[in-house]
Amino acid sequence: MTRATRLVLVTLCGALIACSSSPKNPVATPPARALETEPVAARTIDWSVFDSTSIRNPNDGSLRGGVPLPVSSPGLRFNPNRDPEARYGTVEVVRALVEAAARVHRELGGLPVTVNDLSLESGGPIPHHKSHQSGRDVDVLFYQLGPDGQPIESVGAFFEPEGRGVDFRDLADPSDDVRLTIDVPRTWLFLQALIEDDDAQIQTIFVAEHLRTLLLAHARSKSVSASTISRFEAVTCQPSYPHDDHFHFRFFCAPDDIEDGCRDSPPMYPWQKTRLEAAGVRRLPLAPKRAQAAAKIVTHEEAREAAGPLDAEVERWLELRKRWIRKPHPGREYCP
């Protein structure tokens, strides 16, 4: 795909997105340098050499000792189309991503998960996001299958309730469309690994309601523990921008970051309270959440203006998407 075409698609999808100090012990060790530039094997990384601190909260915060996500590790790649400056997180978050991807790679094979933006090395405001400021937010694309049912490199396509999507490529040319399916088993296993990671407590998974339903049905059909399923149910929700093309993960402050200024916002869960108590951390008042940004819906007219002519299939998908873009499932609310 040409850069120009990719930019058009990003404009189409990205326009909808409302999503979205110095180190205590500065780290300049070989592992840190290796993460900067080279593919690494997950099990060779010595995470204990890193000392990161997430400051304040994701909407108004910063990051000390930010750890770069490897450009490539077993089962994981940082999206080559994103700015590599935007791949820094806390050590807990980066380690959790690397290890979850390695588990999927080990157990189910396939192609790497594609990770989009985390935070800048020192955090703070970052292009394309309102949050992602303190090393605890990360966007991840769904694992995907191509038309032949085999794993395919993930793209930022949106997926409908049956798990189907299209990589439109040239939006005016229907002949280059690639039919995609969300790869539910690999996507679920990645989520399960993150949810079961006690050192990197996940707080929220932003995802469209219909994809939450798809993933939940899969988890219930497998021998997944009741506590993992109930945590998945608790932490997933659809924000005003529906997140039908990627996950946004948010992690709680690591216990040892709280005394250095890390602040969680709601929601707080019983298991996280227990974890903090066990770590002997005095819980502080939660930071207020910012007001929900209103969903910016791209109309056909706006899309045409941004992208030029749209083929009939793109028009059909924009129409289809209206079914889930405005409201979560009956009985469900938007993310608090």
Asked if residue 16 binds Zn ion (CB under 5 A), the reply is no
Helix axes 226-235, 184-195, angle to 10 degrees: 90
Which of 73, 119 has the CB closer to Zn ion?
119
Find the part of the chain contacting Zn ion (CB under 5 A) among 25-33, 209-217, 246-254, 268-276.
246-254
Please report how close the Cβ of residue 128 comes to Zn ion at its closest, in angstroms.
9
Nearest alpha-carbon partner for 256 in 280, 232, 226: 280
Asked if residue 248 binds Zn ion (CB under 5 A), the reply is yes
Residues 190-229 that bind Zn ion (CB under 5 A): none
93 with 102: CB under 8 angstroms?
A: no
Find the part of the chain contacting Zn ion (CB under 5 A) among 24-32, 132-140, 181-189, 212-220.
132-140
Q: Which amino acid is at 70?
A: P
Which of 77, 248 has the CB closer to Zn ion?
248
Find the part of the chain contacting Zn ion (CB under 5 A) among 60-68, 71-79, 133-141, 264-272.
133-141
Find the part of the chain contacting Zn ion (CB under 5 A) among 15-23, 100-108, 190-198, 228-236.
15-23
Please report how close the Cβ of residue 7 comes to Zn ion at its closest, in angstroms.
19
Please report how close the Cβ of residue 137 comes to Zn ion at its closest, in angstroms.
5
Cα–Cα distance between 166 and 177 in angstroms, integer?
Answer: 6
Asked if residue 19 binds Zn ion (CB under 5 A), the reply is yes
Helix axes 3-14, 300-307, angle to 10 degrees: 160
Please report how close the Cβ of residue 5 comes to Zn ion at its closest, in angstroms.
23
Please report how close the Cβ of residue 246 comes to Zn ion at its closest, in angstroms.
8
Residue-wise DSSP of 67-135:
EEPPSEETTEEE-TTS-GGG-EE-HHHHHHHHHHHHHHHHHH--SPEEE---B-TT-S--TT-SS--SS
238 with 248: CB under 8 angstroms?
A: no
Please report how close the Cβ of residue 191 comes to Zn ion at its closest, in angstroms.
16
Cα–Cα distance between 185 and 85 in angstroms, integer?
Answer: 31
Please report how close the Cβ of residue 29 comes to Zn ion at its closest, in angstroms.
29
Within its chain, how far is the Cα of 34 from the centroid? 23
DSSP one-letter code for 40 = -
Exposed/middle/buried for residue 198 (C-beta within 10 Å: 0-12, 13-18, 19+): exposed
Which of 132, 263 has the CB closer to Zn ion?
132
Exposed/middle/buried for residue 70 (C-beta within 10 Å: 0-12, 13-18, 19+): buried
Asked if residue 139 binds Zn ion (CB under 5 A), the reply is yes
Which of 136, 263 has the CB closer to Zn ion?
136
Which of 20, 203 has the CB closer to Zn ion?
20
Find the part of the chain contacting Zn ion (CB under 5 A) among 57-65, 66-74, 76-84, 242-250.
242-250
List interacting residues with Zn ion (CB under 5 A): 19-20, 139, 248
